[in-house]
Amino acid sequence: MTPTPWTDDTPHPLVPEETTPPPVADAAEPEGLPPAEAGLAPLPSQAEVKSEDEARQRRRLWAVLLALLLALCGVGFLFSRYVRRPEPLPEMLPVPVEVNYPPHFLFAFYDVNGPLGIALSPSEDRLYVTEGEGDRLVKIFDTEGNLLRAFAPPRTTAAERAPVYVAVDARGRVYVTDRLQHAIFVYDAEGNYLDTILGPDLTLSEYIAKHTGFKPRPGTFAYDWFEEEVHYQDPQGRRRTLPRPDRPTWAPLGVAFDAQGRLLVTDVALGAHRVLVFSPQVAAQDDWSDFQPEVWSFGEFGEAEDQLQFPNMVVVDALGRFVVSDGNNGRLSVWDAQGVWQMLVGTGGGGGGLNLPRGLALDARQRLHVVDAVGQVVRVYDFSEAQPEFLFAFGTAGTLSGQFHYPNDIAIASDGRLYITDRANDRVQVWSY
C-alpha cells in the first residue's frame, strides 16, 4: 500500500481538520422563536452574558484571594507563634500522635533551686515543684513557667525541711513527702497547709483531736520534727501545746495516686524499703482527724529480684500492675495487683538499661517515662502489653537546652507535654510530643 503524500492542500493526517463553527443566531432577535409576551423570558444578550461571566470570575477571584488571605493569616499566626516559642507541629495543631518518636524540647523555666519532685494539678493548669536546695520550698507555676506562689511546712526553716516528691489528689490537694520531717505534708491547691500524715495510721489533726477532744481547724496547728511540742489553737483561739507524738518509724519518699484514688507511698525506713498502698479513703476524706485507712505493703530491703533498695516512685499501669523505680538496684520492679513480684525491667546495658531510676510517669498510651538521674536521660518503655518493651530514650548530659544534669522527676499532661525537673541545672524542662 502506497501512502498518500501530504501537501499543503490536504489536511495533515495527525492534525484534526478544522471545523467551521455553526452560525450563531442573533440572541437579541431570535428567529422562529415566540415573542416574550408568550410567557418565556427573553434570552440575555451577549453583553449581559459576558458581564455575568466577568462577575462570576470576579467573585471566584475574590473567593480565592480571601482563601489565600486566610491561609496567609494562618501561616503567619503559626509562624509568629513558632518564632515566639518554637513548638513541634503536633502541639500547634491538635494532631493525634500515634507513632513512637522521641519528644522535642520546648523551653525551660528557672525559678527553682535544685528541683526534685513535680506534679500537675487535676486541671493541668498548674505545676507543683519541690526544691532540694535554697529555701527548699514547694513552688506553684503555670504551665508556661510563671511562678505563682510558694509554700513550706509551718514552723520550719530551710534547714529543717527536705521536700522531695509531690502528688495531687483528684480534689487538687497537694501531698509532699519530707525526708527530714519524716512525714507527708498536705496542702490545699493554693498551698495553704491542711494536715500532716505522721505515719501510716496517724495524722497531726488526729493526734490533737485525740488529746484535746476537739477537731482542730486547718491552719491552727503545726508540728516541726525538731521541736518537742505540737502547737495548736483551742476553740477559743488560745495558743496551746502538746508533747510531741512518738517518732514515726517510716521514711516516706515517693508519693503518687493511682486511677482508683489510692495513695501510694514508697517507704525507705532503715531495713524496710517497701511500697505502702493506702485505700482510696485517704483521698476521699474531707479531713483526716479520724485517720484509719486500710494500708497494705509489699517489698523489703535488699538486692534480690523481689527486693528493693531506695524505691523512689511507684505507678500503677492499665493492667493493674505496680511499677516501682528501684533506685539503687538500677531497675524497674513490677508487681501484680496483689503485690506479688512479677519481673524486672531495665536491667543490663543498651538503651533500656537503667542507671539510677527515679521519677516515673505513664502517658495515656501506657508508655512509662523513667527519669534516669545518673544516666542523664529519660527512658521510655511500652507497658501496654504483658511484656514491657523499651522504646527510646531522650536527652543527653549537659547544661544546654534539652540536656540534663541529674534530672529527677517527670509529670505528663494529656496534651503530650512533659515537665521534667532538671536538678543540677536548677530548672524545669518542658518537652512535647
Partner 1 sequence: MRKWLWLLPVFLSGALLLNLAGTAWANGGPHGGYTPTTDACAGCHRAHTAQGPNLLTATSTYELCMSCHGAAGTGADTNVADGKFVAARSPSTEGEANTADNGDLLGGGFVNYKTAAVTSIHNSDGTLMAAWGFGVARGQTANLPSSLTCASCHDPHGSPNYRILREQIAGNAVTVDQVDEGPANKDYDDEHWPDNVSNVCVACHGAYHVTRPNSAEDNSDNGSGNADYGGDISTYAHRVGMNYAYGGNADPEATGYGGYFLPLTASKNVACQTCHLPHGTSASMSTLATAPFTNDSALLRLDNRGVCEVCHQK
Nearer to partner 1, 312 or 432 (CB): 312
Q: Which is nearer to partner 1, 200 or 216 (CB)?
A: 200
Sequence letter at residue 75: V
CB of 328 to partner 1, least distance (A): 5
Give the integer Cα–Cα distance in Å for 309 and 315: 17
The DSSP element (H or E) to which 67 belongs, if any, is: helix 46-84
Alpha carbons 411 and 33: distance in angstroms, whole number: 82
Nearer to partner 1, 26 or 229 (CB): 229
Return the number of the residue (51 or 396) whose C-beta is nearest partner 1: 396
DSSP conformation letters of 115-153 = EEEEEE-TTSSEEEEEESSTT--EEEEETT--EEEEE--
| Sign of CA pseudo-dihedral 337, 338, 339, 344 | negative
Question: Smallest distance, Å, CB 124 to partner 1?
Answer: 25
In the chain, the N- to C-terminal Cα span, in Å, equals 73
Q: How far is the CB of 251 from partner 1 (least distance, A)?
A: 4
Contact set with partner 1 (CB under 8 A): 114, 116, 132-133, 136, 157-160, 162, 164, 179-180, 182, 225-226, 247-251, 253, 268-272, 310, 312, 327-330, 347-349, 353-356, 358, 373-376, 396-397, 405-406, 408, 423-424
Contact yes or no for 356/328 (Cβ under 8 A) = yes
Smallest distance, Å, CB 221 to partner 1?
A: 21
Confirm if 113 and 426 have CB atoms less than 8 A apart: yes
Q: Is the dihedral of CA 109, 111, 115, 121 positive or negative?
A: negative
Amino acid at 329: N
Which residue, 185 or 225, has its beta carbon nearer to partner 1? 225
Q: Are 134 and 106 in contact (CB under 8 A)?
A: no
Query: Would you state the cell numbers that stand for residue 326, as one nine-digit string?
Result: 528501684
Q: Which is nearer to partner 1, 76 or 351 (CB)?
A: 351
Which three cell numbers, joined as nine digits, stand for 103?
A: 519528644
Q: Nearest approach, Cβ of 271 to partner 1 (angstroms)?
A: 4
Say how far apart CA 24 and CA 390 lie, in whole Å.
77
Question: Which helix (H) or strand (E) segment is 106 a member of?
Answer: strand 104-109
CB of 423: closest distance to partner 1 in angstroms?
8
User: Other CB atoms closer than 10 Å to residue 162's CB: what's the count?
Assistant: 18
Please say which residue, 209 or 380, places its beta carbon nearer to partner 1: 380
Query: Residue 179 or 231: which CB sits closer to partner 1?
Result: 179
Q: Give me the least distance between CB of 408 and partner 1, in Å please.
A: 7
Least distance (Å) between residue 379 CB and partner 1: 13
